[in-house]
Copies of this chain bind each other. A is one copy, B any other.
Amino acid sequence: MASSSSLTLSQALLARAISSHGSAQPSDHRVSLSALSIPTFSGLKSASPRASTSCRRLPTRSTRNHQVRSAAVETIGTAAETSLVEKSVNTIRFLAIDAVEKANSGHPGLPMGCAPMGHILYDEVMRYNPKNPYWFNRDRFVLSAGHGCMLQYALLHLAGYDSVREDDLKNFRQWESRTPGHPENFETPGVEVTTGPLGQGIANAVGLALAEKHLAARFNKPDNEIIDHYTYVILGDGCQMEGIANEACSLAGHWGLGKLIAFYDDNHISIDGDTEIAFTESVDKRFEGLGWHVIWVKNGNTGYDEIRAAIKEAKAVKDKPTLIKVTTTIGYGSPNKANSYSVHGSALGAKEVDATRKNLGWPYEPFHVPEDVKGHWSRHVPQGAALEAEWNAKFSAYEKNYKEEAAELKSIITGELPAGWEKALPTYTPESPADATRNLSQQNLNALVKVLPGLLGGSADLASSNMTLLKMFGDFQKDTPEERNVRFGVREHGMGAICNGIALHSPGLIPYCATFFVFTDYMRAAIRISALSQARVIYVMTHDSIGLGEDGPTHQPIEHLASFRAMPNVLMLRPADGNETAGAYKGVEKGGYIISDNSSGNNPDVILIGTGSELEIAVKAADELRKEGKAVRVVSLVSWELFDEQSDAYKESVFPSAVTARVSIEAGSTFGWGKIVGSKGKAIGIDRFGASAPAGRIYKEFGLTPEAVIAAAKELC
């Protein structure tokens, strides 16, 4: 079977995914599918694995940001009197305390400790428009220590975001509220990414900052710096301990992301107690090693000027990201619980809330925002509108002077793809020379990148195996940030989370990333957040079975197909290495389809089902069985998720319920196949770990052969 047409499968799906991305569906809250691409790989035909790409169905995103308007302001204005600042900071603290208390669930400690830096960021430093959370040139903020989300909700509330009104604060952590227990971009406009699992947020922030640096380098002109915003992040001790944070921060240093400013909430407390019990490294020294500029704010509780000076210094360092270590007291203000783990993750309790009110001199009712605080913050709505208007004017000028670039940039901002982009895709016929699908995948990526201004990505140090290099571009590097090949190094987890940040920076940025399929184990938490947060990341995962041969069981995925089929919102495709016909396009759009059949009346003696490389085995078995007079149907089940979505009639036409003689073959766990083959059928697969040997030998030893399929079929019919 020529593998040429198998690429067209993934090609068709890629097209589908990108189309649905282009058509934004503002308020579609159904569970949309992420896409995880699974390569085909012909273990039987050659030792060199082939890959094929595919992609997620793209997430929905508000259209509010699709309009490009005009404006620009230089600063947010000067700081308030210190007494008013303190009052604002205490407002933030008590909004958090009160919301957690009402929910009787949540994390008051971080908001109480980080309220000062939070206030300064949202009130004095950050540029945003509360009435359009999607204004393109906004500064991005990520709360990597996502459990402290009441900090962000309080700030969004004060700043005038419609997504967090008083009622929302009162519904903190309740069913269908816009204030869930951890920040979720898909629930709360103003929240950029989904955090909570520690370390993800700082890595997302690296992705956001990468996106800014990349776009600025591509589109800014000497007379018009149309892209110019910062990425701010707050992370805690927990984030600092996670390996993913080190991976992402190593890359941030390498890339010199000067507009990434991270606040490290250095409060010395984690859930198990003082960080002394498990975390005594010098974070400062480590970050210096990672190529960051490091500043220490010793008094994060009341040292407002210290915090301001640190931000000023950070902004002055343009070639390095900055870590501002801010020493704070967790639960600051609580007389009996501050500086202890007990204030981390539980409500203070009525008595301690009272004590804290007394201690901080806070006479107000729960959820009350004092009028002077409200008045002070109220300027952000008009200022935000002015900022956006000014920027929109700037964009109009840009559009006049740089028509072509403006069109590209607009496409990235809105997510609307250039008309006719799909014509750029290569077309294949059965006469096209056979090739490894990973090579075909690379042809497609290289074709797409010519017409998709937002496509960029790379591999975790396996570019030459995953075949993901974009030939017309160089490497995205510190001094060449306009390029589109991203070199992630051997940092799978960081890669996934960085791609989430890129995807969520702009509707038109479409990041892809790649490694061997088995190493999804290293990045599973990031892939899960891609799916959950509707970030349209394309995962090109090659070397998808024992077929990779000699590297052995540590490198051979077994349970991975099943494990991603079970994960919500992931659209997984395992295109076959086969002589698919042009008609297969339609079939594959349905996830599963009949590729050959010598029966009549929708009543074959047996149905053989394969995916990926193993479809070829099913076809060989069918040939033999037919010689013996059997009526055999062969079905390719490229994507279970897509097949599941089809009508009952279509499903019945492929798998008639009367036909219980069904044999599946796939070089992976049989877990889950029971649903397809039924209790009377047989699933041939691998329910043990792999082995180190040439691929053909392993297939044979593990019984993944036409003979095994024939024997199983004969037992059933």
Contacts and interface: CB of A to CB of B under 8 A. Distances in A.
Interface of A: 31, 47, 103, 105-106, 146-147, 173-177, 180-182, 184, 194-199, 237-239, 241-247, 250-251, 253-254, 270-272, 275, 277-291, 341, 459, 461-465, 475, 477, 487-491, 493-494, 518-519, 521-522, 524-525, 528-529, 531-532, 549-555, 558-559, 562-563, 565-569, 657, 669, 671-676, 678-679, 687-689, 691-694, 697-698, 701
A49 B599 CA distance: 54
Contact of A461 (B181, B270, B290): B270
Contact of A559 (B180, B244, B566): B566
A173 B528 CA distance: 34
Contact of A291 (B199, B281, B494, B562): B281
A566 B669 contact: yes
Given A522-B197, A555-B196, A688-B568, A286 B290 contact: yes
A465 B284 CA distance: 30
Given A272-B461, A569-B688, 10 more contacts: A180-B552, A182-B555, A196-B551, A241-B247, A243-B246, A246-B247, A250-B281, A278-B491, A282-B288, A674-B675
B194 A562 contact: no
A559 B554 contact: no
Contact of A196 (B177, B182, B488, B554): B554
A489 B490 CA distance: 23
B679 A146 contact: no
A487 B277 contact: yes
Given A280-B254, A289-B281, A489 B270 contact: yes
Nearest to A104: B47
A692 B173 contact: yes
Contacts of A279: 250, 254, 489
21 contacts: A31-B689, A175-B691, A175-B694, A177-B693, A184-B552, A184-B553, A241-B250, A243-B244, A253-B281, A254-B281, A271-B463, A272-B459, A278-B489, A280-B291, A521-B524, A521-B525, A521-B528, A522-B525, A558-B567, A565-B671, A678-B679
A250 B180 CA distance: 33
A569 to B, nearest CB: 7
Given A278-B488, A289-B285, A175 B697 contact: yes
Contacts of A287: 289
A47 B250 CA distance: 40
Given A181-B550, A285-B285, A494-B243, A175 B698 contact: yes
Contact of A554 (B277, B341, B529, B693): B529
A551 B528 CA distance: 16
Given A194-B554, A521-B525, A241 B173 contact: no
A228 B541 CA distance: 45
B278 A465 contact: no
Contact of A674 (B175, B465, B489, B674): B674
B463 A272 contact: yes
A550 B173 contact: yes
Contacts of A146: 554
B289 A688 contact: no
A526 to B, nearest CB: 9
Given A243-B247, A692-B173, A694-B174, A568 B562 contact: no
Given A106-B550, A562-B671, A242 B247 contact: yes
B689 A532 contact: yes
Contacts of A31: 688-689
A280 B676 CA distance: 49
A373 to B, nearest CB: 28
B241 A242 contact: no
A517 to B, nearest CB: 13
B554 A197 contact: yes
B461 A519 contact: no
Nearest to A291: B281
| CB-based closest 5 A-B pairs | A243-B243, A674-B675, A285-B289, A278-B489, A180-B692
Contact of A286 (B272, B286, B549, B558): B286
A465 B175 contact: no
Given A241-B491, A247-B242, A691-B175, A559 B552 contact: no
Contact of A283 (B271, B288, B289): B289
Given A559-B563, A678-B678, A465 B271 contact: yes
A98 B44 CA distance: 26
Contact of A290 (B243, B281, B559): B281
A245 B490 CA distance: 12
Contacts of A488: 278
A689 B522 CA distance: 21
Given A291-B280, A524-B524, A568-B689, A562 B672 contact: yes
Contact of A692 (B177, B562, B675): B177
Nearest to A248: B243
B562 A195 contact: no
Nearest to A197: B554
A546 B593 CA distance: 35
A522 B175 contact: no
Contacts of A175: 691, 693-694, 697-698, 701
A71 B550 CA distance: 40
A285 B669 CA distance: 44
Given A289-B286, A550-B106, A243 B245 contact: yes
B271 A693 contact: no
A529 to B, nearest CB: 7
Contacts of A674: 672, 674-676
B529 A270 contact: no
A106 B693 CA distance: 11
Contacts of A238: 461, 490
